[in-house]
C-alpha cells in the first residue's frame, strides 16, 4: 500500500485557504486541523489531513490536492436504461465521474481518447457490438486492464456468450438488482459504496429490456 507522506507548512496551508498563517496555527491549537511537529519545532500538515479539513469546513479543494476521480463509461443504447445506470453510479460516490455513449463506435472513440477505470457494456448495441468492443479493448495494451461489467437483456449465440464472459469481470442479465449492480461497480473501482442505493430491483425502478426488434 502506498502511503501519502506529502506535507504542508502553515504558510502553505494559509495560502491554500487564503488566510493568515496565524489563523492556521489557531486551527491547529484548537484541534480543528491535525498537524505534527518536526524535531526543530516546525508544524507540518499531511495532505490527507489537509484535504479532510478543507472538506469538513467547506473550503474548495484544489485539483492538485484531490485524488483523481475514478471514471466510468456506460455504453447503452436505450435512453431510459442509460440514464438509470448513470444515476445509480453517481449516487454511490462523489469520487466517480460517469460518462455515457450509445453505440460501439462511441465506446471505441471514448476508450481511445480517455480510457475509463470501469466500462459498463451492453453487449447488444448498434454499429459495433459488445464483443467487437471487447476484442478491441483487450487487444490494446493501454486498455486491456480496464475493468468491465457486461449487461444484456437479449439471448446471445453460445459462442458470443462464452467470449463475452471470458473478457468481462462481471455479467448481469436484465432485469437485475440495481443495488447489487452498484455495489459490484464500486468494488471494481476500489471505492466504498455510500449505500445510498434505494435497494430496489431493476424491474421496480423501471429498468427493462424491450422485445428484440
DSSP 4-43: ---EE-HHHHHHHHTS-HHHHHHHHHTTSS--EE-TTS-E
User: Is 134 within 8 Å of 168 (Cβ atoms)?
Assistant: yes
Does 74 map to a domain? yes
Residues 82-133: pLDDT tens digits? 999 999 999 988 778 999 999 999 999 999 988 999 999 999 998 899 999 9
Does 61 map to a domain? no
pTM as predicted: 0.64
CATH code at position 180: 3.40.50.2300
**Which domain does 16 fall in, by range?**
7-56
Question: In terms of Cα–Cα distance, which of 67, 107, 96 is closest to 189?
Answer: 96
- Cβ-based burial of 145 (10 A; exposed 0-12, middle 13-18, buried ≥19): exposed
Q: What single string gives the DSSP state of each residue in 48-65?
A: HHHHHHHHHTT----TTT
Residues 64-85: pLDDT tens digits? 776 667 899 999 999 999 999 9
CATH code at position 33: 1.10.1660.10
Amino acid at each position: 500500500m502506498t502511503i501519502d507522506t506529502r506535507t504542508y507548512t502553515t504558510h502553505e496551508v494559509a495560502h491554500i485557504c487564503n488566510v493568515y498563517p496565524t489563523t492556521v496555527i489557531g486551527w491547529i491549537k484548537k484541534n480543528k486541523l491535525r498537524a505534527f511537529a518536526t524535531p526543530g519545532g516546525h508544524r507540518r500538515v499531511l495532505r490527507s489531513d489537509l484535504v479532510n479539513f478543507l472538506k469538513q469546513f467547506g473550503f474548495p479543494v484544489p485539483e492538485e490536492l484531490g485524488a483523481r476521480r475514478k471514471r466510468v463509461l456506460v455504453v447503452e443504447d436505450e435512453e431510459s436504461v442509460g440514464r438509470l445506470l448513470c444515476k445509480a453510479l453517481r449516487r454511490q460516490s462523489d469520487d466517480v465521474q460517469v460518462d455515457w455513449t450509445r453505440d460501439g463506435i462511441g465506446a471505441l472513440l471514448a476508450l481511445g481518447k480517455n480510457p475509463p477505470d470501469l466500462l459498463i457494456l451492453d453487449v447488444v448495441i448498434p454499429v459495433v457490438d459488445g464483443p467487437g468492443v471487447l476484442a478491441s479493448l483487450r487487444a490494446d495494451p493501454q486498455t486491456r486492464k480496464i475493468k468491465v461489467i457486461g449487461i444484456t437483456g437479449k439471448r446471445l449465440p453460445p459462442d458470443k456468450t462464452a467470449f463475452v464472459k471470458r473478457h468481462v469481470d462481471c455479467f448481469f442479465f436484465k432485469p437485475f438488482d440495481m443495488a447489487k449492480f452498484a455495489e459490484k461497480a464500486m468494488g471494481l473501482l476500489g471505492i466504498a459504496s455510500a449505500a445510498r442505493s434505494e435497494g430496489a430491483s431493476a424491474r421496480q425502478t423501471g429498468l427493462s429490456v424491450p422485445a428484440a426488434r
